Structure 1
Amino acid sequence: MAAIVASATVFTTLHLSIPTTTFLNLPRRHLRSLITSSSLSKTTESNITFAPPKSKTALPKPDSLGDQLFIPWVGPDEKGNLTLQTTPSQRFLKAIAHESTQRKKKKDNPTNKINNPNNAKPVYSKAARRFYNERFREPPQRLAKVLAAAGVASRRSSEELIFQGKVTVNGSVCNTPQTRVDPGQDIIYVNGSRLAKKLPPKVYLALNKPKGYICSAGETETKSVFTLFDDFIQSWNKRNPGVPKPRLFTVGRLDVATTGLIIVTNDGEFAQKVSHPSSNLSKEYIATINGAVNKRHLLAISEGAIVEGVHCTPDSVELLPQQPDISRPRLRIVVHEGRNHEVRELVKNAGLQIHALKRVRIGGFRLPSDLGLGKHKELSPASLRTLGWKS
């Protein structure tokens, strides 16, 4: 280690004392002998000095346009020809300033989120709006019908509310039940409460009516068929959140002692079409008779009877085969008009007494065999078509 330090000292001394040209021209063997002899004659002490560091010369600052870095700009000259320029055009500078100003305004504008095109409602073409209005949007309806469909009251009670001046349309009292309104566009108030813009959807239900229930509401002394739909109405909000509950009513009626098929809906137009005699929908009943039945009874029933001042005749009368589990005879009677107590009057006019009466079919829809008493099921589009209704 000491020899290495001594060699380095001698080499430094030689480097400082011998001219550079002489030192570089020496052969390697002469240089080795020179360093060895110098190390023997010189002491280990040496004075090493270093040259001061060179100061960094600062770059001159550009003081004129010619000393600056040249950035070429291509732009039109006074004659409109494209030329190479040293500065951008005034039009370009104004555009940059305008863009920065507008960007700052958009950033500071609190309504920027509201005016954001991504949050705006979609704009549909005239053809798309026409297609929707012709096929999906319901036309304006009579005010009384809208109130009844919204579940405010029955149509007759809704007309009374309108006549009493308790209904306003767009801020004005309306006394005409025939006024055409659109719940989605018009603002309707009933007794100070606003009517929902969205009406409940159409509901079509088939009920197997038990004995002892009437087909109207409001009478507390007798059970109503609408009490059989309490669970359906109570669970409506869970199945249809935000949609008003439908106001249900029966299509036609069955007397309190008659069981079987009855249609329940909130569609007044459907109910009127199905129950009207012009629909030509037949209704089939099964009548269980007390006592024996013979051909004379069947002939008397087929000849008809006077019901509500009108002579009514059935479409067909048939004695059903005897069954082991049923001791009483049964008749299948098909009628079209369906007047009040028509089947009972036909059987009574033939000298027979009805033990039980059940309706099993309306039009092409038959009461499902698995539908228990007091139960209901929703009608499918195919079932509605059997009733002559195209939904």
Structure 2
Amino acid sequence: MAAIAAAAASLSTLNLSRTSVILPRCHLRRAITSSLSSATTELGAKFAAPAPKPKSKSHKPSPREDSEPYIPWTVNDDESGAVTLKTTPSERFLRAVANESTQRKKKKEDRGSGGKDKPRVPTAEPKYSKAARRFYNERFREPPQRLAKVLAAAGVASRRSSEELIFQGKVTVNGSVCNTPQTRVDPAKDIIYVNGGRLAKKLPPKVYFALNKPKGYICSAGEKETKSALSLLDDFMKTWTKRNPGTPKPRLFTVGRLDVNTTGLIIVTNDGEFANQISHPSSNLSKEYIASISGAVSKRQLIAISEGAVVEGVHCTPDLVELLSRQPDIPRARLRIVVHEGRNHEVRELVKNAGLQMHSLKRVRIGAFRLPTDLG
């Protein structure tokens, strides 16, 4: 029945009139089947899109619902005393609330501990006992020293220049001007100012250097037109702060002097007492020199040197005069001369007084210390 109804529908769609040609049965079947297939394709099921839901109106909260409730605060001005209306409390009120909260916490802690004090943490015992510190102070700690000596040891200036600074009133000790270089002071306890600058409490340590002074260098500092033997230690002094943090630089000076043409051993230190013991003639410390002579040296000339000569108004006699043996690599004659007074140009005056011409002079020993072979 469904097929017949579909065929009738297809025929109606063809709009066949009575004058139309009637097709045979086979053609009719073919037409019906073709119309059925086309009808099934046209009758495909399609679902319409769901209808959109009506948009719900969003609820906009009123500004009063989101914002915090407005609480007015009356604040008194501390200076003028005027009363103003503000939205926040005063700082004094906030501090009072904070203090009250901290006091409550403390009371709770005290109640929890039963009102008993907490046990104290034991402090560390001193590193050294009183007896050990007293022994060190009596045996090894330096006693108070003269003010001029302390300034020189701290590197302010030489001892004579330090005395001049004291006489000029440029040095104060514990807030008072000191005009006496002999005043005993302790840098670790006394407050010392020089030209408005505070003197370090810790003095630099004692240092000692042995230099092989080349020719052309002088032994005094402060002269810019010539080379100083102290400039040979510039590299060492530049790294002093890095190697000794917190310790002031030592003020170095040479022990005694060698003239610009004399080479050899020279001691550099910042220990004034040690330098005085070595350089002063009363110490009788022997010093050995090697003198190269131009020309031959006779026995008579050796005797003349050993008899001595007048140097700076004082007759100086050498301890030893010896003619060294010839060496193939050294063409000139050499004399070994040992003196103990160490006056200025003493060896040169002895050689000159004997009628000899000196080519070069080198100091190789001071006391028991001899110039190391690796220094030439």
* TM bucket, shorter chain: 0.5 to 0.7
The alpha carbon displacement at 1:136 in A equals 2.3
1:103 aligns with 2:107: no
Per the normalisation by structure 1, the TM-score is: 0.65
The alpha carbon displacement at 1:220 in A equals 1.1
1:219 aligns with 2:223: yes
Q: Which residue of 2 aligns with 1:13?
A: none
Deviations 1:188-245 (A, max 9, x none): 1111111111111000110100111111111111111111110111011121111000
Q: Which residue of 1 aligns with 2:183?
A: 179
Per the normalisation by structure 2, the TM-score is: 0.68
Q: Which residue of 2 aligns with 1:339?
A: 343
Instruction: Tell me if the contact between 2:219 and 2:228 (Cα under 8 Å) persists in the aligned partners.
Output: yes
Q: Give the Cα separation in 2 of the matches to 1:202 and 1:243.
A: 12
1:138 aligns with 2:163: no
Q: Give the Cα separation in 2 of the matches to 1:170 and 1:301.
A: 57
Q: Structure 1: which 5+ residue stretches go unaligned?
A: 1-95, 107-111, 373-391
Q: Which of residues 288, 298, 301 in structure 2 aligns to 1:297? A: 301
Q: Which residue of 2 aligns with 1:309?
A: 313
Q: What letter matches 1:323 in structure 2?
A: Q
| Distance change >3 Å, CA 142–CA 358, structure 1 → 2 | same
Give the 4+ runs in structure 1 shifted more than 6 A: none
Q: Which of residues 140, 161, 164 in structure 1 aligns to 2:165? A: 161
Q: Which residue of 1 aligns with 2:371?
A: 367
The alpha carbon displacement at 1:280 in A equals 2.0
Helix, strand or coil for the counterpart of 1:103?
coil
Q: Give the Cα separation in 1 of the matches to 2:375 and 2:246.
A: 30
Q: Give the Cα separation in 2 of the matches to 1:138 and 1:223.
A: 36
| Distance change >3 Å, CA 163–CA 319, structure 1 → 2 | same
Quote the RMSD (CA, aligned, Å). 2.0
The 5-angstrom pairing of residues 182-221 of structure 1 reads 182-221=186-225
Q: What's the % identity of the aligned pairs?
A: 83
Deviations 1:239-266 (A, max 9, x none): 1111000000111111111000011100
The alpha carbon displacement at 1:275 in A equals 1.5
Helix, strand or coil for the counterpart of 2:373?
coil
Q: Give the Cα separation in 2 of the matches to 1:267 and 1:100.
A: 65
Instruction: Tell me if the contact between 2:281 and 2:343 (Cα under 8 Å) persists in the aligned partners.
Output: no
Q: What letter matches 1:236 in structure 2?
A: W
| Distance change >3 Å, CA 103–CA 369, structure 1 → 2 | same
Deviations 1:253-309 (A, max 9, x none): 111110000111000011111122232210000000011111011011011111001
1:264 aligns with 2:268: yes
| Distance change >3 Å, CA 342–CA 100, structure 1 → 2 | farther
Q: Which of residues 232, 235, 251 in structure 1 aligns to 2:239? A: 235
1:274 aligns with 2:278: yes
Instruction: Tell me if the contact between 2:192 and 2:199 (Cα under 8 Å) persists in the aligned partners.
Output: yes
| Distance change >3 Å, CA 370–CA 101, structure 1 → 2 | same
Q: Which residue of 2 aligns with 1:248?
A: 252
Deviations 1:145-164 (A, max 9, x none): 11111111111111111111
Helix, strand or coil for the counterpart of 1:370?
helix
The alpha carbon displacement at 1:326 in A equals 0.7
Q: Give the Cα separation in 2 of the matches to 1:235 and 1:347.
A: 43
Deviations 1:48-75 (A, max 9, x none): xxxxxxxxxxxxxxxxxxxxxxxxxxxx
Q: Structure 2: which 5+ residue stretches go unaligned?
A: 1-109
Larger radius of gyration: 2
The alpha carbon displacement at 1:100 in A equals 4.0
Q: Which residue of 2 aligns with 1:69?
A: none
The 5-angstrom pairing of residues 22-171 of structure 1 reads 100-103=114-117, 117-118=122-123, 122=126, 125-171=129-175
- Which has the bigger relative contact order, CA under 8 A and spacing at least 6? 1
The alpha carbon displacement at 1:130 in A equals 1.6
